[in-house]
Amino acid sequence: MNSFLRNLTTSQQIGALFIVVFGVLSLATLWGFFRSLREHASDDPQAEAHAQEVKRFWGLIKTSWVMATVFWIGWALGDTVATVLFAIVGFFALREFITLSPTRRGDHRSLVLAFFVVLPLQFTIVGSRMFDLFTVFIPVYEFLALPVVSALADDPQRFLERNAKLQWGIMVCVYGMSHVPALLLLDFPGYKDKGAFLVFFLVFVVQTATVVQHMVGLKLKRPPSAPNVSKSFNWTHWGVGVVAASLLGVLFTGITPFKPGQALALAFIAAVSGSLGHLVMKALKRDRGVTSWGFQGMSVTGAGGLLDRVDALCFAAPIFFHSVRWYFGL
């Protein structure tokens, strides 16, 4: 399969991917639809828990459709538009994160700095291909500058907690998300103008790990491994999802600059970091006492939060990007 994909032209590879991606999503959607027809209402607590699992599965399917659509739009409109598109996603994801984090009057300057200075600068640096600067801009410069701005507001009450929450939001929603369009701009020898395939590889692997994990959870009942954080997370389900996503990565070696062993390792890294990052974001939601980042109508999507849809990608993207860049010396 890999040799077949490599022998195709770029246009033919795009067409093949279109058929595969939307074909798989259509099959998963149909499977979920016919399975839902067999469900019956019940007062049994186990039945209610199962219904919640089915609801989460449908949320993952919707996320997959959204991410696939965003991928094709970014591909069709070019690198610059794709970078702007992901910057907009980062903006609204950060908005949802901050909405559920208590702020004070003294945080207003810091919020303005985060939304209207740090975020656009980070994605501008990405678009300029200044990878060394983009790597350290938020973890170093922003990390030190933001508390200074907050201190100048003369409001020391819960200073550490307030700044830590904002820093967390910026790291996940801006720094993490900015690594997705950065993949478009990596300069692989003999791989010119094919960076979108790396984005596809990352997104498809991360989504596969999460979807398979939930599908296995619907069929194979196991007690949750971290019940206070997630009622659905179990190490067995997680392992099956990671293995499935890693093997899928090998199947798509032909559209990447990777050899099969490299594709397997990088897919494994992406699947592990994305799925565990998703668990971390669930812990944050439990801390805030909500089940969705779109709580109380604050969601951009209108049904569950936008951040719920991209949180795994925000964790996987920087680890995948730097692993690729380090290993290949780019």
Q: Kindly tell me if the per-residue pLDDT of 316 is higher than 60.
A: yes
Q: Which range in 94-98, 203-207, 267-271 is most confidently predicted, on average pLDDT?
A: 267-271
Give the Cα separation of 304 and 197 in Å (integer). Answer: 28
Instruction: Work out the average pLDDT over 46-53.
Output: 60
**Could you tell me the pTM of the whole model?**
0.80
pLDDT of residue 189: 78
Instruction: Work out the average pLDDT over 151-177.
Output: 91
Q: Kindly tell me if the per-residue pLDDT of 322 is higher than 90.
A: yes
pLDDT of residue 18: 62
Instruction: Work out the average pLDDT over 135-144.
Output: 93
Q: Kindly tell me if the per-residue pLDDT of 302 is higher than 70.
A: no
Report percent pLDDT > 70 for the chain: 75
Instruction: Work out the average pLDDT over 27-44.
Output: 64
What is the separation of C-alpha 255 from the centre of its chain, rounded to a whole number of angstroms?
A: 21
Alpha carbon distances (Å) from 57 to 36, 38, 60, 113, 309: 11, 15, 5, 37, 12
Report percent pLDDT > 90 for the chain: 30
Residue 52: closest CA among 234, 248, 235, 218: 218
Q: pLDDT category, 295, cuts 50, 70, 90?
A: low
Instruction: Work out the average pLDDT over 11-29.
Output: 65
What is the separation of C-alpha 150 from the centre of its chain, rounded to a whole number of angstroms?
A: 29
When comparing pLDDT for 167 and 14, which is higher?
A: 167
pLDDT of residue 239: 92
- The token pair at 218 is 């619907």
- The token pair at 82 is 């794709």
Q: Kindly tell me if the per-residue pLDDT of 26 is higher than 80.
A: no
pLDDT of residue 271: 95
Give the Cα separation of 81 and 13 in Å (integer). Answer: 22
Burial class (CB in 10 A: 0-12, 13-18, 19+), 147: middle
Q: Kindly tell me if the per-residue pLDDT of 198 is higher than 80.
A: yes
Are 295 and 305 in contact, with CB atoms under 8 Å apart? yes
Question: Residue 164: which H helix or E strand, with range?
Answer: helix 159-169
Instruction: Work out the average pLDDT over 141-158.
Output: 90
pLDDT of residue 188: 80
Are 238 and 275 in contact, with CB atoms under 8 Å apart? yes
When comparing pLDDT for 110 and 14, which is higher?
A: 110
Spell out the residues 6+ positions from residue 195 whose beta carbon is closer than 8 angstroms to its own. Answer: 79, 183, 184, 185, 186
pLDDT of residue 60: 64
Question: Residue 64: which H helix or E strand, with range?
Answer: helix 45-77
